[in-house]
Amino acid sequence: MEVRFEMVKPRILVMRVAGTNCDRETEWAFRLAGGLPQRVHINRIKRGEVKMRDYQVLVIPGGFSYGDDISAGKVFANEIRHNIGNDINLFIEEGKPVIGICNGFQVLVKAGILPYPGRQSVTLGWNGSARFEDRWVHLKIEESVSPFFRGFPPVIKLPVAHAEGNLITENEDVLKKIENDRLVIFRYCAPDGTLKGYPYNPNGSTANIAGLASASGLVVGMMPHPERALFRCFYPDWHRDEKNGDVFGYGYMFFKNVVNFFR
């Protein structure tokens, strides 16, 4: 008798608020990768109309939540902390992935969820260039604790679009612990993988850090936008790239890895 194993399709909650503007792209990316995403406004969760426990993945997408008033992601972070913080903590304790992309990354660090839970130990401040950076960057993949970047080549390209992506740690001890715990998922770099300053590091981020994971590896935040790199033809140089025989881009690989986590 032939036995077939089918991949479980995880239910993915794409949480949005006023100012979120990458939720539809993120929803489409997860659907393309084989998940079952749903865009949900945070008010529906606060009112109890939608239960976070009914989902397997939580995603906070990019955008300008609440106009980035005060600082990028701060208002959204406070809303999470004071209204649904217990729900998110339980979600994480159950071993369910939480993904923050760009503004979502800013929300996770300012809510004290990344890199270490309980209190804020890093922030994402104004770019060192003092301007909005909107372009493709090279990223050096690190051997981190996260399972979502396995199978990637040493250097990839993804687009960034932010004004406040400069990662700053509370002190040197926090940075040292992040490094020792292998929480850095990738770093801004030159095309050959060497770590360099601006313009390769678009925001002046400490140690060229472009994304972080939690100790479990299942909570991940990143400034680049994988949802904007789903297909090779999205890349500005796709017709010259050595991978041009492959339809999908590195952004798709990330979303597929998250979905494959539930095999």
225 annotated active-site: yes
| CA-wise closest residue to 35 among 61, 5, 57 | 57
Residues of the chain above pLDDT 90, percent:
91
Residue 238 has pLDDT above 90, yes or no: no
Tokens representing 123 are 């922030």
Q: Inform me whether the pLDDT recorded for 225 exceeds 70.
A: yes
- Taking only the tens place, the pLDDT of each residue in 130-154 is 999 999 999 999 999 999 999 999 9
Over residues 21-31, mean pLDDT:
98
In percent, the amount of the chain with pLDDT more than 70 equals 95
Q: Averaged over 211-217, what is the pLDDT?
A: 98
In a domain, 2, yes or no: no
Catalytic residue among 102, 142, 164, 189: 102
The answer, yes or no, to whether residue 205 has pLDDT greater than 70, is yes
Residue 235 lies in a domain: yes
pLDDT of residue 240: 73
Q: Is the pLDDT of residue 263 over 90?
A: no
Residue of higher predicted confidence among 238 and 123 = 123
Cα(209)–Cα(89) distance, integer angstroms: 25
23-32 vs 250-260: helix axis angle to the nearest 10?
70
Which of 27, 142, 164, 227 is an active site residue? Answer: 227
Q: Residue 246 — very low, low, confident or very high, per pLDDT cuts 50/70/90?
A: confident
Digit-coded pLDDT (tens) for 72-90: 999 999 999 999 999 999 9
Mean pLDDT of all residues in the chain? 95
pLDDT score recorded for residue 244: 54
Range of the domain at 19: 11-260
Q: How many domains does the chain have?
A: 1
Residue position matching structure tokens 């993949």: 141
Residue 27: per-residue pLDDT: 98
Do the domain assignments include residue 3?
Answer: no
Asked if residue 37 is part of any domain, the answer here is: yes
Q: What is the CATH number of the domain that holds 174?
A: 3.40.50.880
Instruction: Indicate whether 120 belongs to any domain.
Output: yes
Q: What is the pLDDT of residue 1?
A: 52
User: What are the tokens at 164?
Assistant: 């406040």
Q: Is 102 annotated in the active site?
A: yes
Alpha helices in 118-239 (DSSP H): 172-180
Q: Per the residue annotation, which of 27, 138, 162, 225 is the catalytic one?
A: 225
What is the per-residue pLDDT for 259? 97
Whether the pLDDT of residue 242 is over 60: the answer is no
Taking residues 34-51, report their average pLDDT.
Answer: 97
Tokens of 51: 């239960």
